[in-house]
Amino acid sequence: MIDELAGRRLWIGIPGPRLDDAARRLLDEVRPGGVVLFARNDDSKAGLRALSADLRALLGDDLHVAVDQEGGLVVRFEREFMVWPGNMALGAASVREPSLGEHLAVEQGRLSAAELVSVGVDVNLAPVLDLASAEGSGIVSSRSFGSAPELVARLGAACVRGTLSGGVLPCLKHFPGLGYASSDPHLALAHLSGSRLEDALLPFERGIAEGAPLVMSTHLVVESIDPGVPATFSRAVMEGLLRERLGFRGVTLTDDLEMGALGGSEDFDEIVRAAAGTHDVLLVSHDADRQRRAARILSEEHAAGRFPRGGRAPLEERLASLRRPESEGVFDARRAAEVAEAIAGRSVTVIRDDRGLIPIEPETPVLILRLRTHARTEVEDPLRGVEPAVELAEALSACRPATEILETPPSDASLTALMDRALEYERVVLLLADPRSQAAEGALLEALAGRHPGCLVVLLRDPHGAALVPEDAGVAVLTPHGFRRLHIRALARVLQGDVAPYGRLPVEV
């Protein structure tokens, strides 16, 4: 028999958009305190509303239904939802006009929360408060507001205020800061040097002061605090740093315990036992067998009298403190569209254009190029199945665009043929997902930037890729800070000269 408190300490994922018999048996056995929804659970808003209602009918009204609805790069619900431009787009708009950026961040948080409330979701696993850095693994990229601690702290706090006012509980992540991490925790254990820790903590300190009730850790070793021990298992980080130094009194949540950083299924039981001593809630997103094992292990830990900070009673008090805030109103789709367009429209940033290639004159023949990039992890498609080259060709109404989408990596012969074709066009727009991590993109960038005098390099995910463009190449470099339809439409308006680029880089390149 699984201890009731053990179940409440588990937040788990379920397989599909409906509760089949297997899912009902699992949920009835584990009795989790939260269910985290993913794209696999989204078939429509009506379906999500029904699923949330079924979950609470089975597990009680106190059940938390959560989702990672960050905007931009990470969006779980897309079919009928507003897809927000994301954090770095907000950062780019805010660098030029801080008060406007903060207002837009509050509005995004409020409106996104109201839409989640409409389908029964009460927890958004956002905002991301990691600092963007060229030194990091690239896992953060446009998920961050930027590289300056004060900028990230200000916009993160604004998102917390907006999310709470919209009726949803926000969760600060990834504590103590993933932006400078040496690797992607989906794949391997990350490390953070002590010299970067102080900057990384400021956004969390500000988010906590705004009343954020949840903090998610990450599988990262802070060498200066607890050498060799991931934050997931570290009392020095989760208690000494987060609770004692930053004064956090809310609920702590692990990142998914199934990630490659922790060693995989062979060590899963020990992973759960170690995390159970440092966190209030454990997240096991995918595997039903591991979810059952985690519940049993937590029950055993409770029977042995082992609890996180303060013992059983304070743990129960913290979990009971997670009450859904009152919403300020119903979701206004029209207002949401206006705010999202305002963010995307103000985020397009021209990093370099020494030869005045922007705007492109009307009727100019334009070739739009892109490589199909591969996923760096099992859970990440670099462009989430979106085809920005096709979107851009449709949006460039004043030009005469053609598109070329290559499989990656291209052969030498196909690359030569591509270069010959590119030289037939006055302008070439090269769309890159992440040339720092995608070797084929880096190779194409090097080949094209050095040969085509009318090349415009568009960085869709990470503006740090601008460092790969030789300064003497004479090409233009710009970024819309994302690849969604909103970003591409805003990019097209700048390329055609309909509007002047407004955004400024929120990172150091």
E strands of 38-161, at which residues?
A: 64-67, 69-71, 74-75, 123-124
Instruction: Give the ranges where 173-328 is alpha helix by DSSP (H).
Output: 197-209, 235, 268-276, 288-303, 312-320
CA nearest to 349, candidates 467, 480, 482, 461: 480
Longest dimension (CA), the chain: 75
DSSP 240: I
Question: Is 279 a catalytic site residue?
Answer: no
What is the DSSP-derived secondary structure letter of residue 197? H
In whole angstroms, give the CA distance from residue 366 to residue 108. 34
Q: 186 catalytic, yes or no?
A: yes
CA distance 201 to 150: 11
DSSP, collapsed to helix, strand or coil, labels residue 459 as strand
CA distances, 304 to each of 273, 298, 301, 312, 374 (Å): 12, 10, 5, 12, 46
Q: Which is catalytic among the residues 255, 256, 434, 462?
A: 255
Buried b (16+ CB within 10 A) or exposed e, 268-307: beebbbbbbbbbbbbbbbbbbebbbbbbbbbbbbbeeeeb
Give the span between the Cα atoms of 235 and 277, in whole angstroms. 8
Active-site residue identified among 64, 174, 186, 487? 186
Among 331, 339, 324, which Cα is nearest to 108's?
Answer: 339
DSSP character for 63?
Answer: -
* R_g of the chain computed on alpha carbons: 23
CA–CA separation, 178 and 203 (whole Å): 12
Element (H, E) at 114: helix 98-117
Helix (H) or strand (E) holding 36: strand 34-37
> In 387-496, at which residue ranges do the beta strands (DSSP E only) sit?
400-407, 427-432, 455-459, 476-479
Burial (CB < 10 A; 0-12, 13-18, 19+), residue 500, is: exposed
Task: For the chain, give percent helix, strand, coil, nearest 5.
Answer: 45, 15, 40
Q: For residue 236, what is the enclosing H or E element? A: none
Backbone angles phi, psi at 21, to 5 degrees: -60, -40
Task: Confirm if 280 and 217 have CB atoms less than 8 A apart.
Answer: no
What does the alpha-carbon distance between residue 132 and residue 146 come to, in Å, rounded to a whole number? 5
Q: Residues with catalytic annotation?
A: 186, 255
